[in-house]
Amino acid sequence: MREIDTGTTDLLAHVERGVGVVTLNRPDRRNALSPEMLSALAAVLPELEAAADVRALLLTGAGAAFCAGGDVKEFAARGGEGGGTTVPHEERIRRQQVLQRATTGRLYGFAKPTVAALPGAAAGAGLGLALACDLRIGHAKTVFATAFGKVGLSGDYGATWLLSRLAGPARARRAMFLGERIDAATAQRWGLLDWVVDAEELAGFALDTAGELAAGSPESLAAMKKNLLDADRFDLPDAMDREVPRHLACGLTENHREAVRAFVEKRPPAFS
């Protein structure tokens, strides 16, 4: 296991079994976002994306929550989210735009498969981080909540866009406007959770899932991720045109040849 120094205890990271494991680590505040946590996440994601020993990413939260989103107690202490600062409003907008692209945006476009393990609530901006991952795993007490309207805010960190894409626009409107808690069974039905497992099995199941992804052909997985991202941006003819060079490039790799040999020999492939 390779430990990674994130520069703060608010975010932990290590590499295990080919998986970059990132943990939001403020369990006493239900892993509510802090400036230190967000800055560290923005810095560690490109490091893990470029690391040769990382083939998949696992994002989770410490304790009984995934991420409560913005720290509402901190908002109250400084007189609202926009209080307690002398930074001009336009500069605050620019800084948050950059940070959102470096966190939610980076997770969504991450070149390697990503998994979110949710030991509890994903709310507000935490919902955006969870939905930006490719796959999500929870247990019976995992819940999703937009939560923005409850504190008089409109939503950030991509939660609205991602919720609309995954759950559909009608369900996104209901969730955003009413702020209802979405339980695990409903979340799975809406496509927000891929698996619901026993609470005590969550961490192991999530690492096994990410490890299975990490054991795959890296060229194939990277090309698949690009194809999936293109599906959001292009119509079918354009998307198919963009698939072809990736597909044929994979066909020239040693990992493809190994997979073909393994198929014929009826054994698991050993990807390099």
User: Does 169 lie in the same domain as 237?
Assistant: no
User: Does 235 lie in the same domain as 174?
Assistant: no
Average pLDDT along the chain: 93
H helix or E strand, kind and range, residue 58? strand 56-61
Residue 73 pLDDT more than 80?
no
Per-residue pLDDT band for 82 (boundaries 50, 70, 90) equals low
User: Does 224 lie in the same domain as 103?
Assistant: no
- How many angstroms separate the CA atoms of 253 and 272, rounded? 10
**Residue range(s) defining the domain that contains residue 248:** 218-265
User: Does 145 lie in the same domain as 229?
Assistant: no
pTM of the model: 0.93
Q: Is residue 272 part of a domain?
A: no
In the prediction, which pLDDT does 272 show?
Answer: 84
Among 37, 32, 57, 62, CA closest to 45: 57
**CATH number, residue 255:** 1.10.12
Least confident of 13-22, 143-152, 203-212: 143-152
In the prediction, which pLDDT does 78 show?
Answer: 57
> Domain tally for the chain?
2
Per-residue pLDDT band for 4 (boundaries 50, 70, 90) equals very high
Per-residue pLDDT band for 137 (boundaries 50, 70, 90) equals very high
Per-residue pLDDT band for 77 (boundaries 50, 70, 90) equals low
**CATH number, residue 80:** 3.90.226.10
- How many angstroms separate the CA atoms of 64 and 118, rounded? 9
Q: Is residue 177 part of a domain?
A: yes
CA angle 207, 209, 214 (to 5 degrees): 90
Given 176, 195, 214, the domain boundary residue is 214
Mean pLDDT along residues 92-117: 96
User: Does 225 lie in the same domain as 93?
Assistant: no
pLDDT tens per residue, range 215-240: 999 999 999 999 999 998 999 999 99
